[in-house]
Amino acid sequence: MTQECYTYQFQANMKGVSKILFLLLIVTSFMSTPLWSQPGSQRLKNEQKALEKQISTTKDLLEKSKKNTKLSLEEVNLIERQVQYREQLLRNIDNQIRSSELKIEQKEGRIQELNAEIERLKKQYADLLLYAYKKRNKYGDLMFIFSAKTVEEALKRKLYLEKLAEIQKKQMRLIQQNTVLLEEEIIALDEERAQQLQLAEQKKIERAEIIKTKKEKEKIYKRFKEQEDELLKELKQQEKAKEKLKQEIAAAIQREIAAERARIEKERREAEARRKAEEAKNAANTPTVEAEKPKEKDFSLTAENVLIGKDFASNKGKLPWPVEKGTITQNYGKNKHPSLPNVYTQNNGVDISTPRNANVLAVYKGEVTSVINIPGAGKVVIIKHGNYRTVYSNLQDVYVTKGSMVDTKTKIGSLLPNPSNDISVAHFEVHHVKGNSVSQLNPNLWISK
């Protein structure tokens, strides 16, 4: 082979190898990005943990509610909620299994791609080594450089050889990088398969738990039928107490609004008196100059209260629960009774079953504006957060007084005990005040999940 042919073939190979390397780098970069959604997978795991926590809490409360032979409405609500939580958990596990199957399928495909890529890189690397070996045997690196006709051509040949060595090194690095990626993917695949087996076992256990919980539910409903008249009477009493609570809370908030308006009016009159005095003083000194009447100010909310209201609103869905641990046994709005057909109850807040005499906590910083005593609903505390109010009822003892400033999670009181078992029920409401109107809000949307 002539020197000219050698040079031409070398340049052609150089161009081809550079092009291959460029494509390989693109492919390698693309393949390093996961093909599945990690946030979705993590969300399912977080949801599973939350459900398992709620199931554990509800189970403890059910055990406490069984200590008395007399069936309570709370026990009926708790068992219904427990079945719902377990069904949600089973759906969650099914979703995780499907997600895991997709990951395994994608990882297996990725491993195949990496294996094929490594084989291709190894073949290219072997071709480069063979090419370099043949040329080195025939001419030798130094002979090839010094046999050039000019210094410029010798420098170019030296550059060609350096470039070839650089490409060989890059090719080796690519092989090593892809080998590491392959090993990582194999480990991840093994872990995913182990997790899938664990999920399958969890599903089996949870199915058995649902069957067990539903049998327990049937027993409770059977007892409910035996005590239906008594429990219906208890339900009616609770509904009357709720209506009384609703009226008292509405009246208390309206009293707060009236007091706030009286304060605003007093400040307005005082401001007007100061303006007139200033106007009279200016008229005496300079009769031709009339004092400008200031614009009326809105004193309904101070700057601090406006800020607190905005901060409170920005925490929607993130507020802590008003008790340290518990289970929501009755949601906001219209609730169908779990065992009585065509019987519905209306709830202006949420009812949270919790251990007996548990402490109640403020969900956000604010000012205690009302502490009232309502027969059948215990004591009630209303806390102002700018133009929002949170209401805590069914309290036995209250640790705060009207005008007190509280922080988030401040203990404001303890709950009334249930006379028939070892649980208490916290009633929690959220209201929005705008002018004279008061809107009830769904607390489920405000407290954290």
pLDDT digits (tens, 9 = 90+) for 30-63: 344 444 445 577 888 888 888 888 888 888 888 8
In this structure, what DSSP letter does residue 350 have?
Answer: E
Q: Where do we find the tokens 């027969």?
A: 375
| Separation CA 95–CA 132 (nearest Å) | 55
| Separation CA 160–CA 3 (nearest Å) | 14
pLDDT at 57: 84
Residues in the chain: 449
pLDDT at 153: 76
Query: Is residue 51 within 8 Å of residue 88, measured between CB atoms?
Result: yes
| Separation CA 281–CA 119 (nearest Å) | 98
pLDDT at 141: 63
| Separation CA 400–CA 365 (nearest Å) | 13
Helix (H, G, I), strand (E, B) or coil at 326: coil
pLDDT at 34: 42
pLDDT at 139: 56
pLDDT at 71: 65
| Separation CA 410–CA 384 (nearest Å) | 14
Q: Tens-of-pLDDT digits for all 449 residues of the chain?
A: 444 444 444 444 444 444 444 444 443 443 444 444 455 778 888 888 888 888 888 888 888 777 665 667 778 888 888 999 999 999 999 988 888 888 888 888 888 888 888 888 888 778 877 776 665 545 566 666 666 678 787 787 678 777 777 777 787 788 888 888 888 888 888 888 888 888 889 899 999 998 998 888 888 878 777 777 777 777 777 778 888 888 888 888 888 888 877 877 787 787 877 887 787 777 766 655 444 554 544 444 555 666 777 889 999 999 999 999 999 988 999 888 776 777 788 899 999 999 988 999 999 999 999 999 987 668 999 999 988 999 999 999 999 999 999 999 999 999 998 877 788 999 999 999 887 788 999 999 999 97
88 HSE (CA, 13 A, CB side): 17
Helix (H, G, I), strand (E, B) or coil at 297: coil
Helix, strand, coil % in the chain, rounded to nearest 5: 60, 15, 20
Query: Is residue 333 within 8 Å of residue 442, measured between CB atoms?
Result: yes
**432 exposed, middle or buried (CB, 10 Å; 0-12, 13-18, 19+)?**
middle
Token pair, residue 190, equals 């093994």
Instruction: Classify 373 in phi/psi space as left (phi over 0), alpha (psi -120 to 50) or beta.
Output: beta
Question: How remote is the C-alpha of 163 from its chain's centroid?
Answer: 54
Radius of gyration of the chain (CA): 38
Greatest C-alpha distance within the chain: 117
First to last CA, the chain: 78
pTM for the model: 0.61
> Which is nearest to 428 in space by CA: 400, 386, 387, 395?
395
Task: Name, in order, each residue with C-beta under 8 angstroms of 447's C-beta and a sequence gap of 6 or more.
Answer: 317, 319, 320, 321, 322, 350, 363, 428
Q: Nearest 10 degrees: CA dihedral of 101, 103, 104, 108?
A: 140
| Separation CA 255–CA 434 (nearest Å) | 14
Q: Where do we find the tokens 């100059």?
A: 289
